[in-house]
Amino acid sequence: MPDLAVVDRQLVDAAVELARSRFPDGEQWSGAAALRLDDGTVLTSVAPQPPNVAVSLCHETGALCEAFKRDRRVVASVCVVDAGAGRGHWVLTPCGVCQERLFVYGPDVAVGVPEPQDPRRWRSLRLRDVQPHWFARVFPEDPWPYGEAGE
C-alpha cells in the first residue's frame, strides 16, 4: 500500500486537473489544491475570487473545511498555480495561514514544497520541517489534539 502521508504525483495531478477544468483558459496564477485524508480520500478545492481581495481565501480552504466536516485527518496537502505563458503548474509551499490550518492535524502532515531550480518539481516535507520554529513548540505541556506538538 502506498504511503498516504506523502505528496505524490497522484495528489499533484488531482490539483492540476481541477485547476485546468475550473480555469480552462489557463488564467495566469489560477490554481487549486488537493488534500489526502487518512482514509486515502483525495479532496480538491479552489479559491473564490471576490471583488475585495481582503476577504480572499486560499485554494486549500474548501478542502480543509470538507475534511473537518467529514471528521477525517488530513495527512498530505499540495497547492498548485498556473504560472502562465506555457510555464506549467507550479507547486507552492503552503502560506503561513494554511500552515496554521494544517497544524491542526499535527506536525507530520506532508506538504508540497517547490524545488528551487524548477517549481514544476516538488518534494514532500513534513510541516515540522517546513516550520521548524513553529510558535506552539514552546508549550510542550499543553494538550495537543493529534499527538505531540513539540516532536
Query: What's the pLDDT at 59?
Result: 96
Where on the phi/psi map is residue 54: left (φ > 0), alpha (ψ -120 to 50), or beta? alpha
* DSSP alpha helix (H) spans, the chain: 9-22, 61-70, 96-103, 127-130
Query: What's the pLDDT at 78?
Result: 98
Query: What's the pLDDT at 24?
Result: 87
Does the pTM exceed 0.75?
yes
Distance CA 102, CA 75 (A): 9
Distance CA 56, CA 127 (A): 23
Query: What's the pLDDT at 146?
Result: 44
pLDDT tens, position by position, 97-121? 999 999 999 999 999 999 999 999 9
Query: What's the pLDDT at 10?
Result: 96
Query: What's the pLDDT at 85?
Result: 79
Residues of the chain whose pLDDT is less than 70?
Answer: 1-2, 27-28, 140-151
**Domain 9-138 architecture:** 3-Layer(aba) Sandwich (3.40)
Domain extents in the chain:
9-138
Which helix (H) or strand (E) segment holds residue 44: the answer is strand 42-45
